[in-house]
Structure 1
């Protein structure tokens, strides 16, 4: 069974989340070893006789870096009614991408703001590093935003000392697509995997306005796909954030240039990210009027029953003037 490990990985990856503390590179999965075994038979046509027992599969999962996450009694489990339906649709999308070269997945999210200065990040270093005793007012702050291509192991990192707004996200998306467009001549649809943040959810008027602009300008269909509340750690970009945090948490990020250079040297699947510092100043509170949004809403094809979580935006054909 030469493909057993890769088949296990494919099944488990769609159900895994990053260690939320970013202190390890472990991936926590919702599937038990017995369930993985059942899925191997259901999805990959293995027979019961040829598969190893659940205990052996459990050992393989541990070796591959997956851990079954324990339920924390002190912490209420938050789950909306549509969670399973959302994950089923996300898995359907993932399977479609595997066989359709016209589809390209982007996993997108911002990380917590980085304080620039002699601050400890709780990591370890092989050289002696002295951090400040207290976290005083930082010299500067930057927020990293990542556009991650999970099916191609490529990451594009954008740092801003301004705000992560709808316009910032749209500008980063446009910049990323302009960089990679020559590598994906067959792509007609961008699948954007995101959480439901305040600046990028599907009812945020300025964000939806900018996504329409991206669709029309790039002549691409934009498929907005959102993870359910409290489940953003399943977004593939979170795995990159975990690797980045482990990479620089033993360092003193005492300048923006130092921060960018550390980001450039992180490795994901033997590749370094493309890193940019965005100098544009962005302002919060930009929104459309109800009348304008009502007109724009005609461009949105929302999935019945999951209207907030899956929205298709098709480009308007460009007309030749003159």
Structure 2
């Protein structure tokens, strides 16, 4: 008895509706079940209607007969093409040989990357006798632990000494000010922005097919107006203030931005404040070594009656400044994808900056002129240095400027005769052989031998400076006798004790000691001893003592080593 035509017509309709939605294994099992339901001749009829081979339906019948479902597989075990690496054993070594010369970064990193494209690698492998497609190369690279990666700007710049200690000092000082409800601000200048119909990076939501258009080339000439945003971020209030300059980024512009913030916002947020903490970079207009920046800050201190403390981040660490990732990053987000055709648009965009944490930003336009080339006279520099109270810890980065008190007499001029005497016990301690690498008698002979050299060099410097501006010569540093200059130079060269601890023991300012030590270092080349900068039993230390206890322990270890060696 044959299969009815009506039954075949029904199956034809069902196959047309169902089979496109099934994968290979599901189709095989479904067709086998229909063939079994038709009985004799079912396999042939179903194979003809579904346009598949009879062996496919037979395999499906066998799989149904086993009764054990194989989950997660479409084909039977062992089916399909083998991976390219299995078909060609030499493929992986050939690929490694191609990518190793182009490999960038750490070769032992779990995720590496290569600069060659997939098509380049596939073409070179095919030419070498290993035919492969670009997608297959991508899959092979992924299985080998490679991935596409961009560059990450995470490596810090120069590793200056006490870098982490300065971070901790800034954090502790800021927390102390905030706990007393005193203002703490982070300041910096954002990159210069040209004003005009120029393209900007970023994307904004627009009607589809209607982007904001800009010229295909940006031509910025010297007459193009520019905007220099200088930001003041208040850590306590989570508010930002941006002074948009139109001239140059100078020390006067930086201080004027701080003055405007205080007069228009700061004094209202902190009506009872008498102190202000500023964190800034070490370079730029608010540089740690800028006398102009300190002079203009002193003017603010006098005008507002504020005692201003400034803490500079170490060189190469400006990205840690709060204004960078609390204020400037959000402003950049607000300015994305729209041309800054006028100062008004720039101010409106900055003012519209908001965050979920409650950040609000104010912006004003500063059209004042800030010419470059300002200089200070020697008396002005001396007056500024006298007003700046340097901290004991890295006074070149941390200092305080108090309001000028007219009732207070100006500090006396530095006088060699009036300088406090250096304690004899401190000199005796610092001339220990463990620190200088020589006996005290050898050190005394060294001081005597270098005295004529010092006189010759001093006379040569005086002749060189005749009729010239003495700017920069001993700019406000104290005086030091020849013996202790040589001692500071030797200790600095050998690095057996920090200059900070040396200055504390000698009763001198660290900057004074550093200044004279570096000016005396060239004299050590005239020493009679073959090598005064290192001793065989005491190599140069990488972590010199920072406290008196550590110094005494180092001397005790040296003496014990000498005794054990002699015994």
Instruction: Establish whether TM, by shorter chain, passes 0.5.
Output: yes
Change in CA separation of 1:291 and 1:96 when aligned onto 2, cut-off 3 Å: same
Residue from 238, 242, 247 that aligns with 1:157: 242
- Cα pair distance change 1:260/1:194, threshold 3 Å: same
Separation in 1, partners of 2:269, 2:343: 30
Report the alpha carbon displacement of residue 152 of structure 1 after superposing the two structures with TM.
0.8
- Bigger radius of gyration: 2
Deviations 1:265-316 (A, max 9, x none): 1114334311100011111121211232113211111112411110111112
How far did 1:94 drift? Answer: 2.1
In structure 1, the residue matched to 2:233 is 148
Measure, in 2, the Cα distance between the counterparts of 1:220 and 1:88.
25
- Structure 1 residues 174 and 74 mapped into 2: Cα distance closer, same or farther (>3 Å)? closer
* Of 149-158 and 282-291, the range deviating more from structure 2: 282-291
Alpha-carbon contact 1:110-1:143 (below 8 Å) kept = yes
Q: Give 1:113's match in structure 2, choosing from 192, 200, 203.
A: 192
5+ residue gaps in structure 2?
1-149, 408-567
Q: From the two aligned structures, give the one with the greater strand fraction.
A: 1
The one of 121, 126, 130 equivalent to 2:213 is: 130
1:86 maps onto 2:166 in alignment: yes
Q: TM-score, normalised by structure 1?
A: 0.72
**Aligned residue among 206, 209, 217 for 2:303:** 217
Structure having the higher helix fraction is 2
Contact 1:205 1:287 in 2 (8 A): no
- After superposition, the Cα gap between the structure-2 partners of 1:72 and 1:270, relative to the gap in structure 1 and judged at 3 Å, is closer
Provide the secondary structure at the position in 2 that maps to 1:199.
helix
Deviation of the 1:155 alpha carbon: 0.7
RMSD after superposition:
2.2
* Whole-angstrom distance in 2 between the partners of 1:280 and 1:76: 36
Matched residues in 2 for 1:232 and 1:194: separation? Answer: 8
Q: Secondary structure at the match of 2:371?
A: coil
TM-score, normalised on structure 2?
A: 0.42
Q: Quick one: higher RCO (CA 8 Å, sep 6+), 1 or 2?
A: 1
Q: Which residue of 1 aligns with 2:379?
A: 291
Structure 1 unaligned residues grouped into runs of 5+: 1-69
Deviates more, 1:71-80 or 1:228-237: 71-80
Task: Specify the SS of the correspondent of 2:284.
Answer: coil
SS at match of 2:183: strand
The question of whether the paired residues in 1 share the 8 Å contact of 2:157 and 2:316 is answered with no
Residues 71, 100 of structure 1: CA spacing in aligned structure 2 closer, same or farther, 3 A cutoff? farther
Distance 1:117 1:72, change over 3 A: closer
Does the Cα contact within 8 Å between 2:156 and 2:317 map onto a contact in 1?
A: no
Partner of residue 363 from structure 2, selected from 275, 278, 281: 275
Moved over 4 A (4+): 70-77
CA contact (8 A) 2:157 2:317 kept: no
Conserved 8 A contact 1:156-1:273: yes
